[in-house]
Amino acid sequence: MKLSDLRIIVTGAAQGMGAHFVQRLVEAGAKVAAGDVNEAALAKLPDGVFKARLDVSKEEDVRRFVADAAVAMGGVNALVNNAGIIRDGLLVRKDRNTGAITTLSTEAWNAVIGVNLTGVTLMTREVVSTMVRNETRPGVIVNISSVARHGNRGQTNYVAAKSAIATNAVTWAREFAPFGIRVGAVAPGMIETPMTQGMNQKARDALVAAIPVGRIGVPEDIWLGVRFVLECDYFNGRTLDVDGGLVM
Ligand SMILES: NC(=O)c1ccc[n+]([C@@H]2O[C@H](COP(=O)([O-])OP(=O)(O)OC[C@H]3O[C@@H](n4cnc5c(N)ncnc54)[C@H](O)[C@@H]3O)[C@@H](O)[C@H]2O)c1
């Protein structure tokens, strides 16, 4: 699809990669609807973008946001499922000194699954229903997965969600093909955003040493992947790893 033909919803759009995608889409002439729980940061996005509070894990929010965005943009033909959170922790941890056992809390499990998996599913269900109801075609959905989907220590909840949304790009590509809707995923490696800013220097240096291209990524690297999925009508059901070669 041509970027200028897009009437596209971006979730988690207030900062980091989402805000960068919005900026690039506006520059390309797309109509954009930006949703996020952080309303103050949303307000800083470019003029002309439809901006509204959206918690992707809440069914009512999702219904209202998609309906309002479709009215504001004159329809919807694309979605970037970008909203995501982390609540890292080992599933079972034994303290070396005291021997005490601690575990990943059920709250941390539910929070990450709620946003990163249920949220992606609710958004996709609502947007695709709207497209099908309005006989909008072609359409395209992009899931922002992660290279963590291959498995990563300390991220049981995140890995479960990010691998599920990559695999469901396949499920949905098969299910939505009769509607003229493609689905793809982009799996970033380590990218410089507010999500990763808390990392200490030692861990950062070790990570850079493990990335063959020799640097942490920036949101523009991932935009190039998202843009490819949006534009290439022959890309379907696959996940594009954009990680500098970290997990090859
Ligand atoms: N930064 C990385 O290294 C990296 C690597 C791989 C994948 N990712 C994924 O890329 C996506 C963007 O990450 P980022 O680094 O820009 O993160 P970020 O924390 O900078 O931005 C995430 C945005 O999502 C919003 N959000 C959180 N919960 C929400 C909810 N329930 N409903 C709507 N919005 C919500 C936040 O308010 C925030 O604006 C996420 O899905 C993340 O898991 C990031």
Is residue 44 included in any domain, yes or no?
A: yes
Band of pLDDT at residue 198, cut at 50, 70 and 90: confident
Closest ligand 1 atom, residue 58 Cα: 31
Band of pLDDT at residue 89, cut at 50, 70 and 90: very high
Which residues are catalytically annotated? 158
Band of pLDDT at residue 110, cut at 50, 70 and 90: very high
Cα(132) to centroid of ligand 1, in Å? 28
Residue nearest atom 1 of ligand 1, based on CA coordinates: 191
Is residue 12 included in any domain, yes or no?
A: yes
* Pocket lining for ligand 1, CB < 6 angstroms: 11-12, 14-18, 36-38, 54-57, 82-85, 115, 119, 144, 146, 188, 190-191, 193-196
Band of pLDDT at residue 83, cut at 50, 70 and 90: very high
21-35: b (≥16 Cβ within 10 Å) or e: bbbbbbebebbbbbb
Tokens of 79: 């979605």
- 229, 142 contact by CB (below 8 A): yes
pLDDT digits (tens, 9 = 90+) for 132-165: 999 999 999 999 999 999 999 999 999 999 999 9
Cα(95) to centroid of ligand 1, in Å? 30
Q: Does residue 117 register a pLDDT over 90?
A: yes
Q: Which domain holds residue 60?
A: 3-242
- 108, 157 contact by CB (below 8 A): yes
Residue nearest atom 32 of ligand 1, based on CA coordinates: 55
CA-closest candidate to residue 136, choices 182, 94, 172:
182
pLDDT digits (tens, 9 = 90+) for 181-195: 999 999 999 999 999
The whole-chain average pLDDT of the chain stands at 97
Is residue 248 included in any domain, yes or no?
A: no
Is residue 247 included in any domain, yes or no?
A: no
Domain count, the chain: 1
CATH number at residue 153: 3.40.50.720
Is residue 93 included in any domain, yes or no?
A: yes
- 81, 165 contact by CB (below 8 A): yes
- 51, 40 contact by CB (below 8 A): no
Is residue 177 included in any domain, yes or no?
A: yes
Higher pLDDT, 183 or 207: 183
Q: Does residue 78 register a pLDDT over 90?
A: yes
Band of pLDDT at residue 45, cut at 50, 70 and 90: very high
In percent, the amount of the chain with pLDDT more than 90 equals 96
CA-closest candidate to residue 185, choices 241, 244, 131:
241
pLDDT value of position 26:
98
Q: Does residue 203 register a pLDDT over 90?
A: no
pLDDT value of position 199:
86
Is residue 139 included in any domain, yes or no?
A: yes
